[in-house]
Amino acid sequence: MIPLVNLQAQYQQISDEVKIAINKVLDKCDFILGESVSLFEDEFAKFSGAEYCIGVSSGTDALHLALKALDISPGDEVITASNTYVATVLAISYCGAKPVLVDIDPQTFNIDISKIEASISSKTKAIIPVHLYGRPVDMDAIMALANKYNLKVVEDASQAHGALWRGKQVGSFGDLGCFSFYPGKNLGAYGDAGGITTSDVTLYEKLRLLRNYGSPLKYHHDSIGYNNRLDTLQAAILRVKLKYLSSWNSQRAKVAELYEKHLGSINEIVLPQTQFYSGTTHVYHLYVVRTKKRNELLKFLMDHGIQASVHYPIPIYSLGAYKNLRISPEAYPITELFSGEILSLPMFPELMESDIVNIAEKIKLFFSMKGLNS
């Protein structure tokens, strides 16, 4: 079986270091906002090219608190992409604001920047670009629009830890950058965890209160905050893993090159772009191809020991919770088409060339059988 993601292969490389880090926290018993939290925040801020990082309890909570810190409230509209993980949109709903979905670009799979302007209204307060699958959104274009219309920018970098847009880290362009450290992410904890990056000291101070019951000092509560802290144990684990993130991201890029080498000759599937502007890097949280025969190929691969998946099979505006968000039946042609064609192949740093050859052979076999049958 070749899994989609292999957390065990990664844990085996670092298990000794992780156990030492966990034991240090256990010996100290500083479980809530302990030393490892502030050390991780400093290290992740430095890594991300931001002044500050606020450790929080998940990526969803990072997005929610980020919008709260920007005072997004009922009556406001927030623009994001129609193909993203639902958490991006949930965070907008938590603030009582209205999510406004914009279709995606067929080349990048990210928000179609040329369609954003038509979605801006007098109520629009913010844009959430999502660096989906690990590929950076064109942040020059996003920031230009945000400046023109005076909008806040919250980057959802939950799938793109360490990705660069023209030499600068994603998460450091907007007012706030949000990260998930869900176990399967490029930088994953061993439970739920998240982080927010910023270079704005006022937002930083506001977020430190928001994540901790609105409390600057024990039993003093200056605002209605939440219990959304990053656990000390998770921070200790993340500190160990952060040291390896860049090399794991390079290994992911090598896996993508190997996929291109072995799948490049198959006409029935479209591979993701791997060439970018200089200084721009894709960190391949997911390796997503497209094919007209998606459902059949997915089943074939699963039947042959290859765990493929779909991110995401149901567009946000077709989810039960969000049927009201579809602007018109024709508003999302690319998202609509791609939700039936996209296929995520196994992607993790330890994936070997022999596995990729095996996957390529299965895909070739599938299409050769199709050719015979039709």
Ligand X SMILES: *Cc1c(COP(=O)(O)O)cnc(C)c1O
Looking at beta carbons only, is 156 or 175 nearer to ligand X? 156
Looking at beta carbons only, is 180 or 232 nearer to ligand X? 180
Nearest-approach distance from CB 63 to ligand X, in angstroms: 6
Which helix (H) or strand (E) segment is 92 a member of? helix 86-94
Looking at beta carbons only, is 79 or 87 nearer to ligand X? 87
Q: Is 84 left (phi over 0), alpha (psi -120 to 50) or beta?
A: beta
Looking at beta carbons only, is 75 or 313 nearer to ligand X? 313
Looking at beta carbons only, is 158 or 232 nearer to ligand X? 158
Nearest-approach distance from CB 178 to ligand X, in angstroms: 7
Amino acid at 333: P
HEC readout, the chain:
CECCCCHHHHHHHHHHHHHHHHHHHHHHCCCECCHHHHHHHHHHHHHHCCCEEEEECCHHHHHHHHHHHCCCCCCCEEEEECCCCHHHHHHHHHCCCEEEEECECCCCCCECHHHCHHHCCCCEEEEECECHHHCCCCHHHHHHHHHHHCCEEEEECCCCCCCEECCEECCCCCCEEEEECCCCCCCCCCCCCEEEEECCHHHHHHHHHHCECCCCECCECCCCCCECECEHHHHHHHHHHHCCHHHHHHHHHHHHHHHHHHHCCCCCCECCCCCCCCCCCCCCCCEEEECCCHHHHHHHHHHCCECCECCCCCCHHHCHHHHHHCCCCCCCHHHHHHHCCEEEECCCCCCCHHHHHHHHHHHHHHHHHHHHHC
Amino acid at 293: K
Nearest-approach distance from CB 135 to ligand X, in angstroms: 12
Nearest-approach distance from CB 94 to ligand X, in angstroms: 12
Looking at beta carbons only, is 154 or 263 nearer to ligand X? 154
Nearest-approach distance from CB 254 to ligand X, in angstroms: 22
Looking at beta carbons only, is 159 or 262 nearer to ligand X? 159
Nearest-approach distance from CB 85 to ligand X, in angstroms: 4
CB-closest chain residue to ligand X: 59
Q: How far apart are CA 74 and CA 97, in angstroms?
A: 5
Nearest-approach distance from CB 219 to ligand X, in angstroms: 29
Looking at beta carbons only, is 77 or 156 nearer to ligand X? 156
The residue assigned the tokens 């390796």 is 287
Looking at beta carbons only, is 339 or 363 nearer to ligand X? 339
Nearest-approach distance from CB 156 to ligand X, in angstroms: 5
The residue assigned the tokens 């799948």 is 263
The DSSP annotation for 261-302 comes to: HHHTT-TT-BPPP---STT-----SSEEEE-TTHHHHHHHHH
Nearest-approach distance from CB 81 to ligand X, in angstroms: 9
Looking at beta carbons only, is 6 or 159 nearer to ligand X? 159
Nearest-approach distance from CB 131 to ligand X, in angstroms: 8
Give the interface with ligand X as residue ranges (CB under 6 A).
58-60, 84-85, 87-88, 130, 156, 158-159, 180, 182, 192, 194
